[in-house]
Amino acid sequence: MRQFLYDIIAIMTIIVEKVKKMRVVLIPGDGIGKEIADSVKKVAEVLKCDIEWMEYEAGAEYFEKSGKLMQDGLLDKIEEVKVALKGPTATPIGKGFRSINVYLRQRFNTYANIRPVSNMKGLKGRYKNVDLIVIRENSEDLYKGVEYMYDENTAHGVKIISRDASDRIIRYAFEYACKNNRKKVTCVHKANIMKMTDGLFLDEFNKIKEEYPDIESNDVIIDALCMKLVTDPTVFDVLVAPNLYGDIISDLCAGLVGGLGFAPSANIGDEVRIYEAVHGSAPDIAGQNKANPTAILLAFAMLLNDNGMEDKADILKKTINDIIAEGKYATADMGGSSSTDEYTRVLMERISNETV
Ligand code: NAI
């Protein structure tokens, strides 16, 4: 009898776990952040994702009103929940506080930044058949923020490239290629000039590639890569890069397929995952109902996909693709006149039709 009761309790626990809502920390952030985060919440509702959003303020606007960069409890909540969706947070240029994005990536050791780039039908792009994955090292390089004034007229910035972090990201890139049926991994560097730092990164790449004989591999110097990307991006597949180069080439790649409004990203660690759009807070259009929420919605699709909701991720991506291909409800950055609200409303209607 006692065993029977134990079994019942165990079954009930499993059922409760299954029906428990997934909790996601949501940081709307600055500028257009609130508008695009609002779009995600509405879309999640019609997708019936059953997500409990744990919303926290962070960023320049919060700093202005509170003197703090983020709301108390945010870090603990990310630690506990492990999954976050983040809007853009603004960072003052050349002065002021350091980037919250960089802080969160380093604090939670989300060492891999995954940025998929591909054509969407209906978007103006110079090339067809672009299908790239930029895998950016997310924890070190010049982003460590080691900068100081050597003397009154000379500033130094220290580029930190470690064997461990290089090994981890390069291995991640090859594993990603294997799991996602990708054929080739290209290492991005400037080891001809930075012989120690980029030299070490390339050296690790050359060692690790030997463990993956089925994946084609090569390396390209960053400046040559930029030229090749704008002349023929289709020759690349997975690009693995140290932090700063990864940042620059992912914006370049976004430009190849229609702009920043369509570029999602995921910051992946062993414990925590933070999903976000590649773009920033777009202060020039903030508060005007003009923002294109596609990038953060695609980042949300990555979140759903990684958390066992592949079917919902597919519906979301397909519906976005259909609306963009149709071209009728394009936001200003796509050359149209739809507002964020109108685009979101149409997306919600179409998803409702798909899911009923
Ligand atoms: P940005 O990405 O905010 O804007 C660049 C251009 O793209 C602007 O003309 C903007 O209107 C447009 N744009 C960006 N996202 C858009 C969207 N969803 N829909 C329509 N148009 C869009 O880059 P910017 O101006 O260099 O940076 C502004 C602020 O954002 C800075 O404080 C920067 O530090 C921060 N930033 C934050 C990031 C993050 O939180 N992950 C990433 C990049 C920048």
pLDDT digits (tens, 9 = 90+) for 26-79: 999 999 999 999 999 999 999 999 999 999 999 999 999 999 999 999 999 999
**Sign, CA torsion 10/14/15/21:** positive
Domains of the chain (ranges; CATH) run 21-110+261-356 (3.40.718.10), 126-256 (3.40.718.10)
> Is residue 121 among the annotated active site residues?
no
* CA of 29 relative to ligand 1 center, distance in Å: 12
The H or E element containing residue 176 is helix 163-179
> Rounded to two decimals, what is the model's pTM?
0.91
9-23, 24-38, 99-113, 171-185: range with lowest mean pLDDT? 9-23
Say if ligand 1 is within 6 A of residue 105 CB: no
Percent of the chain whose pLDDT exceeds 90 = 85
Mean pLDDT (the chain) is 94
Q: Which is nearest to 248 in space by CA: 143, 169, 111?
A: 143
| Span 304-314, average pLDDT | 96
> Is residue 143 among the annotated active site residues?
yes
Say if ligand 1 is within 6 A of residue 265 CB: no
pLDDT score at 158: 97
Say if ligand 1 is within 6 A of residue 91 CB: yes
Say if ligand 1 is within 6 A of residue 295 CB: yes
Is it the case that residue 14 has pLDDT exceeding 80? no
* CA of 247 relative to ligand 1 center, distance in Å: 13
pLDDT score at 15: 60
Give the chain's end-to-end CA distance (angstroms, integer): 44
Say if ligand 1 is within 6 A of residue 106 CB: no
> Of residues 143, 245, 275, 329, which has the active-site annotation?
143
- Ligand 1 atom at shortest distance from the alpha carbon of 332: 20
Neighbours of 124 (CB within 10 A): 9
User: Which protein residue's CA is at the shortest distance from atom 36 of ligand 1?
Assistant: 280
Report how far residue 354's alpha carbon sits from residue 351's, in angstroms, rounded to the nearest whole number: 5
> Is residue 190 among the annotated active site residues?
yes
Q: Which is nearest to 39 in space by CA: 223, 308, 299?
A: 299
Report how far residue 296's alpha carbon sits from residue 292's, in angstroms, rounded to the nearest whole number: 9
> Is residue 245 among the annotated active site residues?
no
Q: How confident is the model at residue 6 (pLDDT cuts 50, 70, 90)?
A: confident
Report how far residue 276's alpha carbon sits from residue 101's, in angstroms, rounded to the nearest whole number: 10
- Ligand 1 atom at shortest distance from the alpha carbon of 99: 34
| Span 79-103, average pLDDT | 92
> Of residues 62, 103, 111, 190, which has the active-site annotation?
190
**Helix orientation angle between 33-46 and 340-355, rounded to the nearest 10 degrees:** 10
pLDDT score at 353: 87
Say if ligand 1 is within 6 A of residue 61 CB: no
> Of residues 7, 223, 232, 311, which has the active-site annotation?
223
Q: How confident is the model at residue 1 (pLDDT cuts 50, 70, 90)?
A: low
pLDDT score at 213: 97
Is it the case that residue 125 has pLDDT exceeding 90? no
SS3 190: coil
Say if ligand 1 is within 6 A of residue 280 CB: yes
pLDDT score at 66: 94
SS3 71: coil
- Ligand 1 atom at shortest distance from the alpha carbon of 282: 3
> Of residues 141, 198, 247, 333, which has the active-site annotation?
247
Neighbours of 199 (CB within 10 A): 16
Is it the case that residue 215 has pLDDT exceeding 60? yes
| Span 212-221, average pLDDT | 98
Say if ligand 1 is within 6 A of residue 69 CB: no
pLDDT score at 136: 97
